[in-house]
Amino acid sequence: MLAALALAVLLVAVVDRFHGHSSLAFAAAIILLMVANAPMLRFNCPRCGKNAFFCGIFVIPWPNRICTRCGQDLGAGHGKNADG
Ligand SMILES: [Zn+2]
């Protein structure tokens, strides 16, 4: 995600340098970010479907370990069960 963001910024900067201000490069960067975010946006809570990367209205670059809506443990909870 952060690498994709850096790549997108770099792409815009490079194309901007060689071709002047280009909305095409900007569009390409947006598409690149969308592609990079596609798997991230599918990471939803198995119980209520809330996206693990959204904390309220904020998008966070790392997934919540516990669903902020229903409290479902979103981590790889196989084996360890702390619920006791
Ligand atoms: Zn949930």
* Res 59 pLDDT > 70: yes
What is the reported pTM?
0.43
Helix (H) or strand (E) holding 4: helix 2-19
Going from the Cα of 55 to the center of ligand 1, the distance in angstroms, rounded, reads 12
Domain definitions of the chain by residue range: 1-42, 43-75
Going from the Cα of 9 to the center of ligand 1, the distance in angstroms, rounded, reads 33
Going from the Cα of 30 to the center of ligand 1, the distance in angstroms, rounded, reads 29
Helix (H) or strand (E) holding 55: strand 54-55
Model confidence at 61, in pLDDT bands (50, 70, 90)? confident
